[in-house]
Each structure stands twice: as structure tokens, then as C-alpha cells.
Structure 1
Amino acid sequence: MLRLLYTLLLYVAAPIALAATMWRGVRDPLYRERWGERFGFSRTRTQVPTIWVHAVSVGEVQAAAALIRELRKRYPDPPLIVTTATPTGAQRVNALFGDAVRHVYLPYDLPGAVRRFLDRIQPRIAVMMETEVWPNLYRECGRRQIPIVLASARLSEKSVRRFRRISSLFREALNQDLTIGAQTRADADRFIEVGAPASRVHVTGNIKFDIEVAPNVRATGEALRTAEFFGRFVWIAGSTHEGEEDIVLAAHRQLIAKRSDALLVLVPRHPNRFDRVRQWLGQQGMAFVCRSRGESAKEDTRVVLADTLGELLMLYAAGDVAFVAGSLVPIGGHNLLEPAALARPILTGPRNFNAPDIAKMLFESGGALQVNSADELAATLAMLSANPEKRAELGQAALGILEMNRGAVARVMEMIEKAEAVSRER
């Protein structure tokens, strides 16, 4: 009965969701493309079994990159399908992997859409990142005997409370041919609490710690620093959101008063906000340049607007300090391990509930510092700008935490290989 109600509600909500997607397409044409895939009408068809990985958006794609590369290495023959829910996720897939994988949008969790999708991509195993549990999709995978691995899985206390309200629906989903690789023991216990069989839940760690920084990323960052930022104190505000740019710029004004050569590289999180942030910067009376226009930072430039995609890691490599945003507004924070992989000192706000364990480890090790306001951000930046030894100490502590926690990809791959071997024997 609950499944029927859930599905009926989805049929009501699907046209609304599609309309919202089309509306977003007014500002971002990418949202108008390939909308048929939302209903399972994928242009990608394969006659041979595939390996399928789902990563909902940019952050999950970046986190899954090391795992996808390992899958490509271990399974070079079957096509590798990567699905996302967002166009920015699709762009990141293309930037990271090009033609080595095929991208498809994940359909809405409607029975017909799910069947059409699976008919077209023919997965022999499904690897779902983090907390992607879809009852109709999982049920259809179970019916077709497609094993599912939930990789780097996490479940918050808030999600547990939500799942309890519809426990029978998610208990059924979690009792398919599903293996869960949880990030922490607490995550594993929560999955068991909401109905996953304990024998199928393992603690594998967080694959975000297995981040790989390509040599060309470091080299390009160093080249940019030499060409445009040389001799200046450069800080990167990565993945900022609405309302956060005001705080960041207020801090930068205070920093400039103490260090006139300071340069801010501002990286908004969402491409559909690039135009608005560009217009807003134009009203602030501060000299800025835009990377999308190919403009170079000059001596009088105070802000570089990175209104481009896929450059954040390179920009972290070019800077002295990384402020990881989404943390001064109620977003939950973004990936703290990207600057850690480059041994950059990390500043972040108090709202890091998307990855509280990572934030806690970095704070306790001295690899990251918390700032709660524009004044605190400015004061901490001023302190670090005058103290290169402290910057190096923070950066090395952050890198140490990352190195200490590597290995999740290998543990997840063991789960995948066991599940995939059983699938081939059927």
C-alpha cells in the first residue's frame, strides 16, 4: 500500500519537477537538454552488460573519480555508464573522463521510466554513491537480479527520522541484492537501524580521502600563479552561495586595508549564478576580472571571478589559502579534502554538516580553522598572510589527515568484485 501511495505521489510530482527543470532552463539551457532521459528515454543503448555508477551532482562525481578510474582499469571491456541528476554533474563527468565513459541522466523513480532506463543500459552491477536510495529503482534491480553496491554511504540522524516514517518502503529497498559500504561505524549502525541486514553492511571509509590530483592540475596552478599572481597573497573562496559572497567580499575589504596586495579568487558554486555574481561585483567599486572572458589579473585587480567550470582544484593550487564555502550559510559545506590534497591551509565556516566527521578530523589535527563571520575571516587571513610558516604547518596537517584515511576505494572495489562475480555466474 505504501509503495502504491509513493508511486502515485511521484506521478503527480513528476510533471511539476519537469516544469521546474524547464524553468531553470530559461537561465541555464543545459537544463532543457535530454529531458526525455528523466523518463527513461535514453539515447544510450547497449546490447552488452555494463558497469553503472550513479553520482548525483558535481561533488559526488568528484568524490567518485578515483573509484571510476579503478573500475575502468579493472573492467576495461564492458561499457561504463555514469549517471547524474544535474547538468553540472554531467559536465564534470565529461571534463574528468571524456569518451572513456558514457553519461546518462538518472530517470525519475517511476516504474516505467526505471524499466526503460534499465532496458537501455543493461547493467550487470549498479554502484550508487553516498545516500541514493530509490525504492522503485532498487525493486526493479532486485527483480532483474542486478546487485547494488552503495559506496561511501552515509546516513544522518535527520535521514533516519525521515526513513522511520516510511520504514516499510525503505526496508524493502534495503533488502534487495544490496551491499553497503558505510563511511563510518555510526553510518553503518544507522543503515541497520532503518532496515538494512547487518550482514550486508560494512565500514569501508570515505572514498573522498582517495582524491587524486593530476600533475597537470598542480603545474597549471603554479603557472597561473607565476604569470598573474606572483608576489601577492592570494586566497580562494571556493564554491560560494547566495549571501556568502557578501561576507567574503566584506572580509576581503578588511584584508586589503592591512595587506594592499591581497587578491581574492571568487568561485561561485553554481553556473546559473555566474551572471548575477558578475553584475553584483560590477556594483561593488572594486577592480575585478573574469576568467570566462580570458582576462588576466593586473596589479590593480582586487578580485578574480572564476566564472568557469572544472577549475577549482587548479585555483586552489595557485593560491596561498583556501576558504571552503557553503559553510557560512546553511548549505552544509563543500569538499574540504580538495585543498587538503594540495597541502593548502583551510578556512571554513561553522556549518559543515554535510561531512561533519571530515571537518572534525581537520579541526582537531590543526589542518583547518573555523571562522564564523566576515571579521573572523579577515583577521585569520591577515594572520596567515603574515605567517608563511603557519600556512605550511596547516597545509601539512591537512594533507596528513587525508593520507592517514586513504584506502576506501580498495575496500569498495573488493565489495564490487564479489558482487559482480556473483552477477556473472547467474
Structure 2
Amino acid sequence: MSFARALYSAITWGAQPLLRRKLRRRARAEPGYAVAVHERFGRYAQPLDSLVGHSGMDALGRFVWIHAVSLGETRAAAILLRELRAQLPGMRLLLTHGTATGRAEGEKLLQPGDVQVWLPWDTPGAVARFLRQFRPAMGVLMETEVWPNLIAACQRRGVPLVLANARLNDKSWRGARRLAPLALPAYRALTAVWAQSQADAERLQDLGAPVRGVFGNLKFDVVPEPAQIEMGQRWRMLAGRPVVMLASSREGEEALWLEFFKSKHPVGQTDQAQAASKNIANISLPEVQWLIVPRHPNRFDEVAQLLQDAGLRVARRSAWQGDVPVAADVWLGDSIGEMAAYYTLADVVLLGGSFAPLGGQNLIEAAACGCPVVVGPHTFNFAEATELACEAGAAWRTLGLPAAVDKALALVQHPHDLEKARAAATAFAQAHRGAARATARQVADLLGVAASSAKD
């Protein structure tokens, strides 16, 4: 073990009490963080033999392990998993996560014989117990998850470990370069890397990663659930007016939106004053239904309180009467797993994470639902997809949230332009599909090699 990794291991071991305290704190807002905490430290309740069967079983009969840290990665994993199950009938899935939302979403993907646990904290002991417990045939890390001890342990045990749908922005690349003694051996020890874009590939190769292909983004292969599309269409019909959504909003962005909204549409006045101001407000702010969907569930209550304190009538999705929206100034999307319905409902989306310096969110699911997107200046986490969408007429970049709102409102006031944007969004999403099948084929090939090695 190198000095850099020995020091890192000592730090991660010493930080375990802090991790336990953080999990307890997070569990107050999201109870999922209190589930199976022992798994975080590589300790599992299930007997080993009941999980993986006979120790002599070859690679094709053992777990295919996919690690999807959070909600976005789990949704990408779902797309890849659909292709993997088609190419590897009867495969057993070992699915790991790092966040409560990821685990909740991942539970929907399980079939009989599959197992879902937390990925252990990256100490040598926890990682060793995890690999002894499950003996995966191979591992697939989604997007950005590079853990030095985990990768080193897989290399020692001969477990092929790949990075799929890989992305690495410029900021993360610079950070990895600063930690070169620790990061570079980890990237070099991966079996294969399949990048989202050529720029991602070049940054990963600079760190020594074995890039074997540039397949594009798995999320282009998303197929929105018909039931969600139907529900979103029903909501739109009931709305009776254009819907503009602030989607996947992050901390501070709702306050930015509220500041703009209040400047155009005074709230908290008497009914007479509101009636007088409404005529003025409508000159610059057309009648639309606003929808806000925060990125993180633990902020639902916080955002609702912020809006209510400003005098707005807020109707939370969780309080709707069945599937019938409640009349309000703002609808608050406080549900998980309904983004396709929200995107179908919305005429235009303001994409969160891009109006504060947070790197943006992925716009591909919105495009797949035929919903045009307006972004702010901060999209470095999804730079290529954003640029391609802008070039295709499926998205627009603005200097900030006020300009983004103006653009969205201009679109909903011009139905012809809006319809063109909708068609462009759908065409953009369809034009970039194919990453899931290509990635699944490579995983299947590597798994076949591992099976042959196990038999030999």
C-alpha cells in the first residue's frame, strides 16, 4: 500500500464516528438514512451461502454488481440494467447506493434473487468484508464514483471493475490532479472506462484511466413510463393555462425565483390591492401556473415554508385530491419518481442547479418528454449535453434566473415557437440514443472473459 493510500485509509477509518453522526442527522429529515447502518461498515445480516450459492460457481452465475450512488445515477443504472437483463438472461444483481433517494429508487429495479445494500465506507476492512460477502463477478461504477480502497481491493481479488457513463468535469479533474498520488493509481486500476463525451474521455485519460470508448450518455436511452406521461397530460388539461416549472431546484434558487416573482406580482396584500395590482402585473407577467420541484426531498418542507411565508398559496403534490391538482399560486412537486409526469405537465422548464454555481442538472429526461429547457450560466456538470441541446433548439442558455423566466414566458406566449421547441426537444433526445446497448455489450463481453477465467 502506498503512503498516500495508507494516509487516506487512516483518515477514513478515523472518520467513522463522524459518518455515524452525519447519518443520524440526515435520518431526521430522511428516515432512509437510518436503514441498515451496519451495511455502511461492511457488516451484513444475510448468510453468505444463501446469497451467492456454491463457492465454485462461475462468473456468469454470480452477482453483477452495479453501484449507483444517488437518484440520478440510479435512474441511469435502470436504463443500463434493462439492456443487461436482455443480454444476460437470469443475471443476479447486486445493487449498492450511497443516498436514501438512490436506495428508494433502486428498490424498484430488484427481481427475485437480487440483493440491495449500501456501499461500504471506503476503509480497507469494510471493503474486504463487502467483497468476501458477495463475491461479485464484476462491478460497474456509475458516472463518477472512484474510491481508492474499493478499487485496489477489487484489483487484488481479480474482480473486473469498470466506470460506466463516465463523466469528469474540469473542476473535478483539477482536484484529482492535486491528489495525484492517491487518485491516479485508482483510475489506472480500473478495468475499463466508457465516457459520456470526448472531453470527459480526455480528462479521464489524463489521469491514467483505461478509456475504451465514448458511448454518449445513458440517459438518452430513457423511455418515460406511459403511465407517467398519461398522468402528466391529464394534469396539463386540468391546469387550464401554461405551466412553467423550476425543476430540480437547489438551495437559494427558490429564493431567487421568489424575488423575481414578487417584483412582478405583489403578494400578501388585501384582496382589493391584489385585484388592482394584478392588472398591472399581467402586463409583464402572463398568467401561468408555476410548479417548483426541489432536487432533494429533505428540502420539501423548507421550500413550502419559504413560499408560504411570502404570502403565496402553495399546493403540495402530496396533498392533491387523488390526481387532481389543487388551485394555488404555486404547485410544489414533493414526490419522488414522478419527474416524467412533471416534465409532461410543464410547457417549459427552468433547470435548477444552473442558476447558482452548482453545475446544473441533466436536461435529457425533460427532452425525452418533449419539454424545452431554459438554463442559467452554470452547467459545467453537464456541459456537452447542454451545448448539444442548445444547438438543436431544445434548450436556451441565459445569464440568470430573471432572463430565464423572461425566455420561458416568451415561449408560452407564442404557441408556434413553443411547438417547434417541443419537437426539437423530442428529436434531440432520440438522436443520441444507443449508449445503453453499447455499454451492456461491453459488460457482457467482460463478464464472459471473467467466466472463462473462473472455469480455467
Q: TM-score, normalised by structure 2?
A: 0.87
Say yes or no: does 1:22 pair with 2:33.
no
Contact 1:151 1:180 in 2 (8 A): yes
Tell me: CA distance 1:282–1:177, structure 2 relative to 1, closer, same or farther (3 Å): closer
Contact 2:160 2:190 in 1 (8 A): yes
Q: Deviations over 1:147-201 (max 9, x none)?
A: 112111122233333223333433332333511111122222222211234xx53
Contact 2:258 2:307 in 1 (8 A): no
Q: 2:384 aligns with which of 357, 361, 364?
A: 357
Structure 2 CA distance for aligned equivalents of residues 189 and 127 of structure 1: 20
Q: 1:219 aligns with which of 230, 243, 246?
A: 230
Equivalent position of 1:288 in the other structure: 314
Tell me: CA distance 1:395–1:18, structure 2 relative to 1, closer, same or farther (3 Å): same
Q: Which amino acid aligns with 2:204?
A: F
Q: Which amino acid aligns with 1:140?
A: A
Say yes or no: does 1:75 pair with 2:88.
yes
Structure 2 CA distance for aligned equivalents of residues 381 and 32 of structure 1: 40
| Identical amino acids, percent of aligned pairs | 36
Question: For 1:103, what is the secondary structure of its paired residue?
Answer: strand
Equivalent position of 1:417 in the other structure: 444
Structure 2 CA distance for aligned equivalents of residues 412 and 374 of structure 1: 37
Structure 1 CA distance for aligned equivalents of residues 241 and 447 of structure 2: 52
- Provide structure 2 residue ranges, at least 5 long, that are not aligned to the other structure: 54-61, 266-277
Structure 1 CA distance for aligned equivalents of residues 168 and 314 of structure 2: 41
Structure 1 CA distance for aligned equivalents of residues 429 and 249 of structure 2: 23
How big is the shift at 1:95?
4.0
Moved more, 390-399 or 257-266: 257-266
Moved more, 96-105 or 203-212: 96-105
Equivalent position of 2:248 in the other structure: 239
Structure 1 CA distance for aligned equivalents of residues 304 and 14 of structure 2: 38
Structure 1 CA distance for aligned equivalents of residues 113 and 369 of structure 2: 26
Structure 2 CA distance for aligned equivalents of residues 124 and 16 of structure 1: 32
Say yes or no: does 1:37 pair with 2:39.
yes
How big is the shift at 1:248?
2.2
Contact 2:242 2:288 in 1 (8 A): yes
Equivalent position of 2:204 in the other structure: 191
Equivalent position of 2:268 in the other structure: none
Tell me: CA distance 1:174–1:242, structure 2 relative to 1, closer, same or farther (3 Å): closer
Q: RMSD of the alignment, in Å?
A: 2.1
Q: Deviations over 1:374-422 (max 9, x none)?
A: 4323322321121111111112222222222111112212221121011
Tell me: CA distance 1:262–1:71, structure 2 relative to 1, closer, same or farther (3 Å): same
Equivalent position of 1:53 in the other structure: 66
Contact 2:64 2:137 in 1 (8 A): yes
Equivalent position of 1:13 in the other structure: 15
Q: Which amino acid aligns with 2:52?
A: Q
Structure 1 CA distance for aligned equivalents of residues 325 and 225 of structure 2: 25
Contact 1:72 1:80 in 2 (8 A): no
Structure 2 CA distance for aligned equivalents of residues 317 and 141 of structure 1: 42
Structure 2 CA distance for aligned equivalents of residues 393 and 374 of structure 1: 23
Structure 1 CA distance for aligned equivalents of residues 91 and 391 of structure 2: 43
Contact 2:87 2:444 in 1 (8 A): no
Equivalent position of 2:214 in the other structure: 203
Question: For 1:123, what is the secondary structure of its paired residue?
Answer: coil
Q: Deviations over 1:109-155 (max 9, x none)?
A: 11111111122222101111112111111111112211112111122
Q: TM-score, normalised by structure 1?
A: 0.93
Superposed, which structure 2 residues align to 1:24-423 within 5 Å?
24-43=26-45, 45=48, 46-48=51-53, 49-95=62-108, 101-176=114-189, 178-197=191-210, 201-226=212-237, 228-229=238-239, 231-253=240-262, 254=264, 257-258=281-282, 261-295=287-321, 296-299=324-327, 301-423=328-450
Structure 2 CA distance for aligned equivalents of residues 69 and 155 of structure 1: 25
Tell me: CA distance 1:43–1:204, structure 2 relative to 1, closer, same or farther (3 Å): farther
Moved more, 122-131 or 100-109: 100-109
How big is the shift at 1:371?
3.0
Structure 2 CA distance for aligned equivalents of residues 102 and 235 of structure 1: 40
How many residues are aligned here?
421
Structure 1 CA distance for aligned equivalents of residues 316 and 169 of structure 2: 38
Q: Which amino acid aligns with 2:413?
A: A
Tell me: CA distance 1:348–1:157, structure 2 relative to 1, closer, same or farther (3 Å): closer
Structure 1 CA distance for aligned equivalents of residues 182 and 174 of structure 2: 14
Tell me: CA distance 1:160–1:375, structure 2 relative to 1, closer, same or farther (3 Å): closer
How big is the shift at 1:319?
1.7
Structure 2 CA distance for aligned equivalents of residues 141 and 343 of structure 1: 41
Q: Deviations over 1:297-354 (max 9, x none)?
A: 345x211111111112111111211121111112211120111001111111111111
Equivalent position of 2:57 in the other structure: none
Structure 1 CA distance for aligned equivalents of residues 112 and 228 of structure 2: 20
Contact 2:320 2:326 in 1 (8 A): no
Q: Which amino acid aligns with 2:245?
A: I
Which structure has the bigger radius of gyration? 2
Tell me: CA distance 1:402–1:51, structure 2 relative to 1, closer, same or farther (3 Å): same
Moved more, 251-260 or 71-80: 251-260
Structure 1 CA distance for aligned equivalents of residues 222 and 214 of structure 2: 19
Question: For 1:151, what is the secondary structure of its paired residue?
Answer: strand
How big is the shift at 1:263?
0.7
How big is the shift at 1:214?
1.8
Question: For 1:232, what is the secondary structure of its paired residue?
Answer: coil
Moved more, 90-99 or 323-332: 90-99
How big is the shift at 1:252?
4.2
Q: Which amino acid aligns with 1:325?
A: G
Q: Deviations over 1:6-48 (max 9, x none)?
A: 1111112222122112112223222222111110113455124
